[in-house]
Structure 1
Amino acid sequence: MKYLSTRGEAANKRFCDILLEGLAPDGGLYLPETYPRVDAATLARWRDLYHRSPQGYADLAFEILSLYIDDIPAEDLRAICRKTYTAEVFGTGEIVPLRHVEDGLWLEALSNGPTLAFKDMAMQLLGNLFEYELARRNGGRGEQLNILGATSGDTGSAAEYAMRGKKGVNVFMTSPHGRMSPFQQAQMFSLQDANIHNLAIQGVFDDCQDIVKAVSNDLDFKRKYKIGTVNSINWARLLAQVVYYFAGYFQSAKNESEKVSFTVPSGNFGNVCAGHVARMMGLPIAKLVVATNENDVLDEFFRTGVYRVRGSADTHETSSPSMDISKASNFERFIFDLLGRDGAKTRALFGEQLNKAGAFDLSQDAAFPAAKAKYGFVSGKSTHADRLRTIRDNWEQHGLMIDPHTADGVKVARQFREAGQPMIVLETALPIKFADTLVEALGREPERPAKFAGIEQLPKRVTVLDKDVQAVKDYIVRHVA
């Protein structure tokens, strides 16, 4: 399997080449040269494996990942998957159990991992892949990787918990200063591991993301200081997320001819892009529903064909803060496919056009109708009042407490479900991570796992920096082991 860049770089790299790299040298995002297709017989075999194997999710992950990874020996890859997806790590042998909410609506539990958010599903695998690949490099003597990331709340803690203590790995995680929930901040900033560095940036998440991309685009600095990324611009992370779409399907569809829809709370487009990949592989997905909050860049595109990024001043601070994103870094992957994999046109849109106008318009492009007709995308928006109402409604009617981001998903999912076709909402996080909003909606605190008791009172280890690329570079240089 070879990989190419969305901006035209030739398909001449294999999985382990791009695992540690992040962005392509031309500034694009990596995708496989082709999406491997699976037929009904393969789906039936995978369904049986998922339900009957003692380590069903791990073995399903191996089957899917092995279609994209041919430079790790099969038994090694299988061992990595089985080491990652265990009941000890994720609290249940099912890993991603499905819960029925109401007629036609299901919730896929993705937040049973160490940091109580769906990001653990990919990050735990990524940590094990990094450790494996770094150890076998340099003739077996090993190499160092310095991870630079950006988080709006959950990526940071998931990455840090997955990488803490990993040999050969340092983590430098940027986050928007003061814009995460108190629980999210405490999860990250309370870690005292020497290889974990928290950098609170005076700005919004998009500023953090821009810094990560700017550093990654400085090829000399990137190579000298061995900079990698764990954000969803890293193909390995997105690939890991493909697995739970198949797992959700196998738990809800009666047979391989039945279609299922998924609703995904979305800000950065990585999670729902994994659904796009699963659909391209042949998973029978009817609709991929993009649910946004007040930062509705993606909803605006799927409704109008206009992709218009917002600046810091126009990015709303909401009660679903992990989606307070106005520049969806993974969106480029879908547009590349939408445009027939035209690297030059994708480069023009995401390079020259966005830099010049802050927007591009595909409403008159012949390809745009395919976003819905061919690729199954639809979208909707949820506001603070919507999410409070949805949280309250689900608690009163179903005894189900959900976090604000998942509430955005449920609210939008209800607009698009169809009789006789399961609609699965991907859970984003457990409610305790956003206790203030749950108290506002329900007048009560969510349950807190014992291991996180008093986490907000623990000593904090964080450095506040200006919104400046050079300041982040300087910090990395001073702290690289």
Structure 2
Amino acid sequence: MKYISTRDAQATPVDFTDILLGGLAPDGGLYLPQEYPSVDAATLDRWRSVLDNEGYATLAAEVVSLFIDDIPVEDLKGITARAYSTPKFASAQIVPVTDLEPGVKIAHLSEGPTAAFKDMAMQLLGELFEYVLRQRGETINILGATSGDTGSSAEYAMRGRAGIRVFMLTPAGRMTPFQQAQMFGLDDPNIFNIALDGVFDDCQDIVKGVSGDAAFKAEYHIGAVNSINWARLMAQVVYYVSSWIRATDSVEQKVSFCVPTGNFGDVCAGHIARQMGVPIDRLIVATNENDVLDEFFRTGDYRVRTSAETLATSSPSMDISKASNFERFIFDVLGRDAARTADLFGTQVKQGGFSLAADPAFPEVDKVYGFASGSSTHTDRLDTIRYCWESAGVLVDPHTADGVKVARDYLTTHPDAAPVICLETALPVKFAGTIRESIGSEPEAMTPERFRDILSADRHVTDLPNDVDTVKDFIRTSIADVQV
């Protein structure tokens, strides 16, 4: 299995372990497999048996081995066994699937150490990074951006690991107190929290700006854990497979997935699973008031908002107006035309966006790739949280509420559609203010014991301006001061 950049017209092949450490391609593009592996009914049946009898970690080894040929399979089995274990994950199933109401299920992706779906990929990345760095005798300095949960998941996965430092950019004042406490409460010497004067898109632009400086990236061994890193999506493909298995009885049965998303990474993994042959009917994108993606799927117009136009909402991890992983999907929609993808995302996005409304490829988004979309507002979130709690005794976080709302809307207009699995994004404890606003209180069971004292921890964070060179200087100084 080799990988190519979405912007490389020569389709230069690269090994998995090289893109794992590098993240963004040198030309600014994102890596994808040269071609997606294909799975047949016999493989899917075997995977069902593997999940039922051997568990999630063994299934994960089988799925990711389709994408990795430069790490021995036996080593991959050890890597996934360490990544997906209890009590690291609160449930032995790792990703339980439960019923919410007829036609709607929830895949619980927040059983990991930071109570967010990002743990599903980050725990695997931590093991992969440490394995490859040990094999090569190298170190890496991970630079990432977070709108809420990526940062804590990455830091908890990488803290204390040999050869790894983490520099995580956060939008100052844009995360909930719980999210800030999870990150800024860490005092590990290899973890560096940076509060940037800007919104998440500014943080993401800084990461791309630093990674785009080839000389700096090479000298300081800069790597990525944001969803620009292909391995994140690869890891997420596994829970689409496991959730489909847990929700069905045979390969003849299809399900749809409704995915709350801002950066398009979570749902892009679903796109890959569907392209592989996993029996997925529809992929339903759920956005909040920052509805750039919903607008595209409805109209064909991808209209990027400015930082000033990006709203601060009660589902803050989706307050994103430039979805990095969208480039991967459009690359596929355009028949993997790298030159055109480079023009759209390297030039036109900087000028405000692009339109495929009149392009022959746009109808394929629905007919061939199975995408639909919807959006949700603050009022919708409050109503949905209250509905789930009062009707089913299920407490959901605001982002998951966006997904449930959009899924229920979809089923109302498509009554004969396949059952929908809503992907949970985080435990509601991270968004206590919104929970109180919705149901009038915080249920005692909302806060797991391991998080009881998190808000009282000391904070460790550096405030920096929205400036690439300033961030580079901070990285240089920190690397010189802290050995790993």
Normalised-by-shorter TM-score class: over 0.9
What is the CA–CA distance in structure 1 between the aligned matches of 2:88 and 2:345, rounded to whole Å?
38
Identity %: 62
The residue aligned with 1:290 is 285
Aligned counterpart in structure 2 of residue 270 of structure 1, from 256, 265, 271: 265
The residue aligned with 2:78 is 79
The residue aligned with 2:65 is 66
| Secondary structure class of the residue paired with 1:146 | strand
The 5 Å alignment of 1:24-35 reads 24-35=25-36
Give, in angstroms, the shift of residue 83 of structure 1.
1.0
CA contact (8 A) 1:11 1:33 kept: no
For residues 241-265 of structure 1, what are the alpha-carbon distances to aligned partners after superposition, in whole Å with 9 as ceiling and x for unaligned? Answer: 0000000000112210111100000
What is the CA–CA distance in structure 1 between the aligned matches of 2:366 and 2:468, rounded to whole Å?
38
For residues 5-27 of structure 1, what are the alpha-carbon distances to aligned partners after superposition, in whole Å with 9 as ceiling and x for unaligned? Answer: 00025232110010000100110
Aligned counterpart in structure 1 of residue 313 of structure 2, from 318, 323, 337: 318
Give, in angstroms, the shift of residue 127 of structure 1.
0.3
The RMSD of aligned alpha carbons is 0.8
What is the CA–CA distance in structure 2 between the aligned matches of 1:116 and 1:32, rounded to whole Å?
30
The residue aligned with 1:422 is 419
For residues 37-73 of structure 1, what are the alpha-carbon distances to aligned partners after superposition, in whole Å with 9 as ceiling and x for unaligned? Answer: 00011100111111111xx111111111111100001
Q: Is 1:435 aligned with 2:432?
A: yes
For residues 366-423 of structure 1, what are the alpha-carbon distances to aligned partners after superposition, in whole Å with 9 as ceiling and x for unaligned? Answer: 0000001100000000000000000001111001100000000000001223447221
Aligned counterpart in structure 2 of residue 374 of structure 1, from 350, 353, 368: 368
| Secondary structure class of the residue paired with 2:388 | helix
| Secondary structure class of the residue paired with 1:20 | helix
| Secondary structure class of the residue paired with 1:42 | helix
Give, in angstroms, the shift of residue 328 of structure 1.
0.2
The 5 Å alignment of 1:100-115 reads 100-115=99-114
Q: Is 1:169 aligned with 2:164?
A: yes
Give, in angstroms, the shift of residue 99 of structure 1.
0.8
Give, in angstroms, the shift of residue 87 of structure 1.
2.2
The 5 Å alignment of 1:60-459 reads 60-137=59-136, 142-355=137-350, 357-417=351-411, 418-419=415-416, 421-446=418-443, 447-459=446-458
| Secondary structure class of the residue paired with 2:362 | coil
What is the CA–CA distance in structure 1 between the aligned matches of 2:77 and 2:27, rounded to whole Å?
33
| Secondary structure class of the residue paired with 1:464 | strand
What is the CA–CA distance in structure 2 between the aligned matches of 1:423 and 1:12, rounded to whole Å?
37
CA contact (8 A) 2:13 2:34 kept: no
| Secondary structure class of the residue paired with 2:466 | coil
The one-letter amino acid paired with 1:445 is: E
Equivalenced residue count is 474
The one-letter amino acid paired with 2:26 is: P
CA contact (8 A) 1:253 1:422 kept: no
What is the CA–CA distance in structure 2 between the aligned matches of 1:211 and 1:470, rounded to whole Å?
9
The residue aligned with 1:39 is 40
What is the CA–CA distance in structure 2 between the aligned matches of 1:454 and 1:103, rounded to whole Å?
38
What is the CA–CA distance in structure 2 between the aligned matches of 1:143 and 1:374, rounded to whole Å?
43
| Secondary structure class of the residue paired with 1:212 | helix
The one-letter amino acid paired with 1:317 is: A
| Secondary structure class of the residue paired with 1:312 | coil
What is the CA–CA distance in structure 1 between the aligned matches of 2:393 and 2:431, rounded to whole Å?
18
Q: Which runs of 5+ in 2 are unaligned?
A: none
The one-letter amino acid paired with 2:418 is: Q
What is the CA–CA distance in structure 2 between the aligned matches of 1:289 and 1:351, rounded to whole Å?
27
Q: Which runs of 5+ in 1 are unaligned?
A: none
Give, in angstroms, the shift of residue 354 of structure 1.
1.6
For residues 199-255 of structure 1, what are the alpha-carbon distances to aligned partners after superposition, in whole Å with 9 as ceiling and x for unaligned? Answer: 000100000000000101000000000000000000001100000000000011221
CA contact (8 A) 2:396 2:427 kept: yes
CA contact (8 A) 1:293 1:381 kept: yes
For residues 118-155 of structure 1, what are the alpha-carbon distances to aligned partners after superposition, in whole Å with 9 as ceiling and x for unaligned? Answer: 00000000000000000010xxxx21100000000000
| Secondary structure class of the residue paired with 1:90 | coil
For residues 429-459 of structure 1, what are the alpha-carbon distances to aligned partners after superposition, in whole Å with 9 as ceiling and x for unaligned? Answer: 0000000000000111142112212211211
CA contact (8 A) 2:133 2:139 kept: yes
Decide which moves more: 248-257 or 446-455: 446-455
What is the CA–CA distance in structure 1 between the aligned matches of 2:62 and 2:182, rounded to whole Å?
33
The one-letter amino acid paired with 1:16 is: T
For residues 85-142 of structure 1, what are the alpha-carbon distances to aligned partners after superposition, in whole Å with 9 as ceiling and x for unaligned? Answer: 11221111110000100011000000010000000000000000000000010xxxx2
For residues 270-321 of structure 1, what are the alpha-carbon distances to aligned partners after superposition, in whole Å with 9 as ceiling and x for unaligned? Answer: 0000000000000111100000000000000000000011111000000000
CA contact (8 A) 2:166 2:190 kept: yes
